[in-house]
Amino acid sequence: DAGVIQSPRHEVTEMGQEVTLRCKPISGHNSLFWYRQTMMRGLELLIYFNNNVPIDDSGMPEDRFSAKMPNASFSTLKIQPSEPRDSAVYFCASRLQGAPEAFFGQGTRLTVV
Partner 1 sequence: KNEVEQSPQNLTAQEEEFITINCSYSVGISALHWLQQHPGGGIVSLFMLSSGKKKHGRLIATINIQEKHSSLHITASHPRDSAVYICAVEANTDKLIFGTGTRLQVFP
Q: Please name which of 97, 111, 103 lies closest in space to residue 35, comparing C-alpha atoms.
A: 103
At closest approach, how far in Å is the CB of 60 from partner 1? 13
Q: Cα(13)–Cα(42) distance, rounded to whole angstroms?
A: 22
Q: Which letter does DSSP use for residue 80 in this model?
A: S
Residue 78 Cα distances to 94, 100, 102, angstroms: 18, 28, 22
Closer to partner 1 at the Cβ: 3 or 16?
3
At closest approach, how far in Å is the CB of 48 from partner 1? 6
CB atoms within 10 A of CB 53: 9
Residue 71's beta-bridge partner residues? Answer: 74
Closer to partner 1 at the Cβ: 64 or 109?
109
List interacting residues with partner 1 (CB under 8 A).
Answer: 31, 33, 42-45, 48, 50, 55-56, 89, 91, 93, 95, 97, 100-104, 106-107, 109
Closer to partner 1 at the Cβ: 70 or 100?
100
At closest approach, how far in Å is the CB of 86 from partner 1? 17
